[in-house]
């Protein structure tokens, strides 16, 4: 248990569906992240939020829409996905955002949502 939870753990959806992934962190951290992990590819950063403000959007297609209503919760809204979007979606959080200071920027990951788009 890292203190970061994600629901659902598994999701199967059609290309016309709309669904949302939820992430909650119980660590009192200020920054939260969405990552995509596809088979045989490095982890790819999708979005970064700091104190509920989006600070990075890594050229992610608009069919992925993040929402951060407060510093403990992060959502990823999905609509009209493609089969190539099938992957493990990981949420992470960290105390600080700036890497290279105290180690407080260490990111802790949730268990992930395994998404299959048919």
Partner 1 sequence: GQNIDQPTEMTATEGAIVQINCTYQTSGFNGLFWYQQHAGEAPTFLSYNVLDGLEEKGRFSSFLSRSKGYSYLLLKELQMKDSASYLCAVGWGSTLGRLYFGRGTQLTVWP
Binding stretches for partner 1 (CB under 8 A): 2, 4, 31, 33, 40-43, 45, 48, 50, 55-56, 58, 90, 94, 97-100, 103, 105-112, 114
Q: Residue 70 has which token pair?
A: 């407060």
As measured in angstroms, the least distance from the Cβ of 17 to partner 1 is 24
Rounded to an integer, what distance in angstroms lies between the CA atom of residue 48 and that of residue 27?
A: 17
For the stretch 40-62, what's the b/e string if a residue is b when 16 or more beta carbons lie within 10 angstroms of its beta carbon?
A: eeeeebbbbbbeeeeeeeeebee
Residue 13 or 45: the one with the smaller Cβ distance to partner 1 is 45
CB of 118 to partner 1, least distance (A): 20
Q: Residue 73's Cα: distance from chain center in Å?
A: 10
Q: How far apart are CA 4 and CA 11, in angstroms?
A: 18
**Smallest separation (angstroms) from partner 1 to the CB of 30:** 10
CB of 105 to partner 1, least distance (A): 7
In the complex with partner 1, the residue whose CB is nearer, 18 or 54, is 54
Which CB atom, from 80 or from 95, has the smaller least distance to partner 1? 95
Sheet holding 73-79, edge to edge: 4-7, 18-25, 73-79, 64-70
Please say which residue, 14 or 103, places its beta carbon nearer to partner 1.
103
């Amino acid at each position: 248990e890292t203190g970061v939870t994600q629901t659902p753990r598994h999701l199967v959806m059609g290309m016309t569906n709309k669904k949302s992934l939820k992430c909650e962190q119980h660590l009192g951290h200020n920054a939260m992240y969405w990552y995509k992990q596809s088979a045989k590819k490095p982890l790819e950063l999708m979005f970064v939020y700091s104190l509920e403000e989006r600070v990075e959007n890594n050229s992610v297609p608009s069919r992925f829409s993040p929402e951060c209503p407060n510093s403990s919760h992060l959502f990823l809204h999905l609509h009209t996905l493609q089969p190539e979007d099938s992957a493990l979606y990981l949420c992470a959080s960290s105390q600080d955002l700036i890497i290279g200071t105290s180690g407080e920027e260490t990111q802790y990951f949730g268990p992930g949502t395994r998404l299959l788009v048919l």
